[in-house]
Amino acid sequence: MMISQETQRAPASAPIGHVAHNGESDPKRDRGGPAQPMLIVRDLKKHFEIGGSALGKNKTVVRAVDGVNFSVAKGETLGIVGESGCGKSTTARLLMHLIVPDSGDLIFDGEEVNRVRGINIRDLRQNMQMVFQDSYASLNPRLTIRDSIAYGPRVTGVGKAEALARAEKLLGMVGLEPGMFALRYPHELSGGQRQRVNIARALAMEPRMLILDESVSALDKSVEAQVLNLLRQLKRELNLTYVFISHDLNVVQYVSDRVLVMYLGQVVESGPVGAIYGGARHPYTTALLSSRPSMDPRRRVKTPPLSGDPPNPINPPSGCRFRTRCPHAQARCAEEAPVLAPSPLDPGHLAACHFPQAAPAKAA
């Protein structure tokens, strides 16, 4: 573990040098080989206890993430969608170990995270970086943006001159002219520019995977498009893997290869982007997709696909958690929680529903 870290830091002359020019990954870092998923998540759980007396009476439990399974293949973008309270941001923080999971396993490129023979959290975070929604709150206001970007490499043992050179190179890569921007402070930048800095800072650790938690949601549409283009370009050039979390279904459709739909702490459907958007099987996914505004004033939405708000994750409904809002709910849905099962037609398209819709799978 430590040896491989040493070797990849060795070519000091080449910052951001872990990627060969043809976009293929460096075999020294790609330990598991191309068939090994970048990240496997098994039965991930996080329950938060709230309220109650000091003696532990009347405690309630928020099941923020309740048994989530998925994997992310190398070089793919996994989109995670869902409404507020569905656990998508908690999932992101659990992946980074910013919150410690109650149970479940993370396997990063074949190595178990935080296990004796596995990868430790410090190394995990060098390989996996995160970009948050609030571009201003996530930067230190007292550091110039060049220092902010160089900070991570500095504390992991890169020399000062090299770290600063790497920061300037990264600024150039995210479209900010280093000569003009390097010595500015976060408050001197616009929201879009600050988010570019956050992306550069994440890349300064030379990660193989980025977790983008609502990273473009706070930006104006024209700036959002610029940042999405940048993310696409960086992914291509640096051979990155993304987990892209958003509540914006159109943006997720644009960036993702596969999509995970979450509802109240659980995955209700997952599959290739074309299968989800073209032939959703879970009624929640269908409702979510038809909640999108029409973009055509002549074909306005006539009736809302769902009524009411998502229920409280403190006391989720028994059985299927969606049954209280589901138009197809039957007695069985209250008694028995459905498991995530593959479609008979497409083994990669999973849905957790007793009565999945057999929607015609349109080509993406």
Partner 1 sequence: MSKVRSQAAGPLVQVEDLSVRFVSRDMNVPVVNGASFTLDQGEVLCLLGESGSGKSVTMRALMRLLPPTAQLGGKILVDGVDVPALPRSRLGEIRGSLISMIFQEPLTALDPVYTIGQQIGEAVREHEGVSQRDAMRRALELLELVQVPSAARRLAAYPHELSGGLRQRAMIALALSCRPKLLLADEPTTALDATVQIQVLLLLRELQRELGMATIFVTHDLGVACEVADKVAVMYAGRFVETGSIEDIMDRPSHPYTQGLLNSTVSESDRDHDLASIPGAPPDLTALPPGCSFAPRCAQRRPECDTRMPTLAGPAGHQSRCILPAIRAAA
Q: How many CB atoms lie within 10 A of CB 145?
A: 28
Residue 223 beta carbon to partner 1: minimum distance, rounded to whole angstroms: 7
Nearer to partner 1, 132 or 284 (CB): 284
Q: Which amino acid is at 316?
A: P
**Choice between 118 and 175, CB closer to partner 1:** 175
* Edge-to-edge order in the sheet of strand 39-50: 60-72, 39-50, 103-108, 111-112
Of all helices (H) and strands (E), which one includes residue 263?
A: strand 258-263
Q: Report the residue from 61, 165, 287, 334 that binds partner 1 according to the rule CB under 8 A.
A: 287
What would you report as the CA-atom Rg of the chain, rounded to the nearest whole angstrom? 22
Q: How far is the CB of 225 from partner 1 (least distance, A)?
A: 3
CB 269 within 8 A of CB 284: yes
Decide: is 277 part of the binding site for partner 1 (CB under 8 A): yes
Residue from 40, 251, 259, 320 in contact with partner 1 (CB under 8 A): 251
Residue type, 111: E
Binding-site residue total for partner 1 (CB under 8 A)? 47
H/E stretch holding 68: strand 60-72
Give 3-state DSSP helix, strand, coil % of the chain, rounded to 5: 30, 20, 50
Is 12 or 301 the residue whose CB approaches partner 1 more closely?
301
CA distances from 216 to 30, 90, 141, 256 (A): 29, 18, 20, 14
Q: Which stretch binds partner 1 (CB under 8 A): 68-76, 134-142, 158-166, 293-301?
A: 293-301
10, 14, 98, 301: which one contacts partner 1 (CB under 8 A)? Answer: 301
Residue numbers 138-197 binding partner 1 by CB under 8 A: 190-193
Name the segment binding partner 1 (CB under 8 A); options: 25-33, 124-132, 245-253, 331-339. 245-253
Nearer to partner 1, 156 or 290 (CB): 290
Q: What part of residues 194-233 is at the interface with partner 1 (CB under 8 A)?
A: 220-226, 228-229, 232-233
Amino acid at position 337, single letter: A
Return the number of the residue (37 or 192) whose C-beta is nearest partner 1: 192
Looking at the chain, list the stretches that DSSP marks H as alpha helix, in order from N- to C-terminal side: 2-9, 88-95, 121-127, 145-155, 160-173, 178-181, 191-203, 221-238, 249-255, 273-278, 283-290, 331-335
Binding piece for partner 1, criterion CB under 8 A, among 24-32, 164-172, 297-305, 329-337:
297-305
Burial 245-274 (b: 16+ CB within 10 A, else e): bbbebebbbbbbbbbbbbbbbbbbbbbbbb
**Nearer Cβ to partner 1 (193/343):** 193
Piece of 39-47, 153-161, 304-312, 349-357 that binds partner 1 (CB under 8 A): 304-312
By the rule CB under 8 A, 315 interacts with partner 1: no
Contact present, 87 and 337 (Cβ < 8 Å): no
What is the closest distance, in whole angstroms, from the C-beta atom of residue 250 to partner 1 in the complex?
A: 4
User: Taking the complex as a whole, how short is the minimal distance between the CB of residue 184 and partner 1, in angstroms?
Assistant: 14
| Residues in 56-95 that interact with partner 1 by CB under 8 A | 83-84
Tokens 């914006």, located at residue: 248
Binds partner 1 (CB under 8 A): choice among 13, 298, 344, 363: 298
- Are the beta carbons of 122 and 205 closer than 8 angstroms? no
- Nearest distance from C-beta of residue 123 to partner 1, angstroms: 34
Which element (helix H / strand E) includes 48? Answer: strand 39-50
Q: For residue 23, state whether it binds partner 1 (rule: CB under 8 A).
A: no
Cβ(294)–Cβ(319) under 8 Å? no
End-to-end CA distance of the chain: give it in Å, rounded: 41
Which residues form the interface with partner 1 (CB under 8 A)?
Answer: 83-84, 190-193, 220-226, 228-229, 232-233, 247-251, 253-254, 273, 277, 287-288, 291-298, 300-301, 303-310, 364
